[in-house]
Amino acid sequence: MNDRQIIRTRPIMLIEDNPDDRDLTIRALRKHNIRNPVTLASDGAEALTMLLGDDHRDQGNPALILLDLYLPKIDGLEVLRRIRADQRTRAVPVLILTSGGEDKDLRAAYDLGANGSIRQPVVFSEFSEAVHTAGLFWLLLNQPPPDPQP
């Protein structure tokens, strides 16, 4: 099994509380033939449990995290801070989903170590294109960090 196949089979984690955005994002991924399984978290607390909780660690890190900044319970910035603070997840690529006009939060996200951001334009086809391009890069072209030795 080469690395690329591993990446392909590793899940994409989508942390998003809005079911519409969630379903449309999954549809955009599928439409562009990104076949990775998608793990869903609908708030920050759930996301952190799935990423850092010992019961859930057996699947390893996701290939990519798509993170909405505005989440119930624990917000996106805090989720990002804890992902970067944990030795096991600090190198996982994280892309921020923004709807634009949140410059301050986006800057904070980069300061905390976000790898990039995808604007979610209102017109869905544009978002779909963006997801496709980002998926191509992060899931196919990018050489991901090897999993830390247990």
State in angstroms the smallest separation of the CB of 87 from other proteins: 35
Give the per-residue contact string, 77-106, with other proteins (x = CB under 8 A; - = no). ----------------------xxx-----
Whole-Å CA distances, 16 to 3, 22, 72, 128, 143: 28, 6, 10, 16, 26
Which among 34, 130, 49, 120 has a CA at the least distance from the CA of 89?
49
Q: How far apart are CA 95 and CA 143, in angstroms?
A: 16
Distance of CA 80 to the CA centre of its chain: 10
DSSP state of 34: -
> Taking every pair of C-alpha atoms in the chain, what is the biggest distance, in angstroms?
44
Tell me how far, at minimum, the Cβ of 101 lies from other proteins, in Å: 5
5 sits near other proteins (criterion: CB under 8 A): no
Pick between residue 55 and residue 104 the one whose CB is nearest to other proteins: 104
Interface segment toward other proteins; rule CB under 8 A; list 5-13, 16-24, 37-45, 141-149: 16-24
Amino acid (1-letter code) at residue 96: I
- Nearest approach, Cβ of residue 42 and other proteins (Å): 14
Q: Which residues bind other proteins (CB under 8 A)?
A: 18, 20-21, 24, 27, 31, 99-101, 120-125, 127-128
